[in-house]
Amino acid sequence: MSNNIVIHRINEIKGVNNMQIHVVRPGDTLWRLSQAYNVSVNQLIQSNQIQNPTRLVVGQTIVIPIVGSYHWVQPGESLYQISQQYNIPISELIRINQISNPNQISVGLRLYIPPKPRPTIDVAAYIDPNLTGTRSEAVVDEVADHLTFLNIFSYQINPDGTLSPPRIEQPLINAAYRHRTAPLMVLTNFSEGQFSPELSTRILTDEALQDKILDEAIKIMEQKGYLGLDFDFEYVGAANRERYNQFLRKAAARLREKGYFISTALAPKTSADQVGTLYEGHDYQAHGAIVDFIFFMTYEWGWSGGPPMAVSPLPQVRKVLEYAISVVPRNKIMMGMPLYGYDWTLPYVPGGRFARAISPQQAIELALRYNARIEYDFVSQAPYFRYYDEQGRQHEVWFQDARSVQAAFDLVKELGIRGVFYWALGYDFPQNWLLIQDNFVVRKRV
């Protein structure tokens, strides 16, 4: 058979570890992929949860579930160049592939590339039962083997200091323990469907109220089996910046007495003096000194009310993390990743129709339904496509695929940070979990 299918595989991705990412080209079929990569069609379907095995979308990514990867020799390539590309000694390439004449390797020759060692990281994910509903427990069971922490969203603080629980709680805690995943109680200043600066001020200016909140939170944690408390206070505001730090110092002292983790979720900043209510109340350096680890919310550049663009463009993510590293220990930094994308109806009008959140699997379904070709933006490291619906309206979709995930994982390795976390479970994305397993050893703390 022709090796064209393999020669045109994605070469722009760096750092692919054990498995391989193939980008579908015109004429590709699962059978041809199975022959080229020496895996069964069923393995490809099941690993990637491919919805329509008989029709692939041009530009769609397929993760090849093999131990190690393959490289097909391109015109003009030498073993030295290939060894440099994969950081493998030439002698190892020769030995593994039983090459008799290293000076004469033919174009199209398939070389086996052995897997690299995997670093150990923490992996966390938020779950909001309002999004996952009756599927919540099953969703946790499906992915929790790949998680260190499960952040259950959320306990909402009431003005009187009492706490309102999430819609579903104990089944999620129990599911986390089944997979040796540590459940974290998420505490928010969420009120009437949004984060409340007024509620933040009320809490952070009243020490007696803070004590009541911590008393109740610790009591709930002890009763229900939580192993840590995650503070997700947003739109805190500049006036409450130091007050929030002081509240966290008080909380940290009490939680550590009982052996609990303490963490915070912070807005994506690139400097200490970044303007805006969302940013000004979040003090990276202080939180880095106070808490055990921080969930940096490096997503929502592309958001439902804004213009079409990548949800988590890698250059912006890098800027946030590089600033974070300058003031926070690397072993406390968790990089945020979205498990969703958006479908915008064009033309975009500020204040107009909001984009619809979709999973990567739904994005592939849309591209298949409307015969759209998936493109890839190598600057933002994100896939996108456009299509026309039945009413003749044009849409633009940005989402996540195996390439964007791998690019983010490469950044984690490059920067040497603690790990990654996801917002939010319930958006189906099987390739992500394949690549977690491929790139990292997930630390378990239960």
Q: Which residues contact 369 (CB under 8 A, 6 or more apart)?
A: none
Residue 65 Rama label (left phi>0; alpha psi -120 to 50; beta): beta
Side by side, which strands form the sheet with 382-388? 356-358, 341-345, 394-398, 382-388, 375-377
Strand partners, 356: 343
Radius of gyration of the chain, Cα coordinates, nearest whole angstrom: 24
**Contact 195/186 with Cβ under 8 angstroms?**
no
Instruction: For residue 167, give the DSSP letter.
Output: S
Count Cα atoms within 13 angstroms, Cβ side, for 405: 29
3-state secondary structure at position 141 = helix
Work out whether strand 69-72 and strand 110-113 pair parallel, antiparallel, or are unpaired. antiparallel
Report helix, strand and coil shares of the chain as percent, to nearest 5. Answer: 40, 20, 40
Query: Taking Cα atoms as reference points, which of 81, 85, 73, 71 lies closest to residue 37?
Result: 71
| Residues 229, 198: Cα–Cα separation, whole Å | 22
Work out whether strand 120-127 and strand 356-358 pair parallel, antiparallel, or are unpaired. unpaired
Tokens 């109680």 -> residue: 185
Q: Which residues contact 326 (CB under 8 A, 6 or more apart)?
A: none
Q: Which residues contact 82 (CB under 8 A, 6 or more apart)?
A: 71, 73, 93, 111
Question: Rounded to a whole number, what is the largest CA-CA distance in the chain?
Answer: 78
3-state secondary structure at position 275 = coil
| Residues 90, 101: Cα–Cα separation, whole Å | 12
The residues annotated with a catalytic role in the active site are: 234
| Residues 158, 264: Cα–Cα separation, whole Å | 19
Burial class (CB in 10 A: 0-12, 13-18, 19+), 292: middle
Count Cα atoms within 13 angstroms, Cβ side, for 419: 22
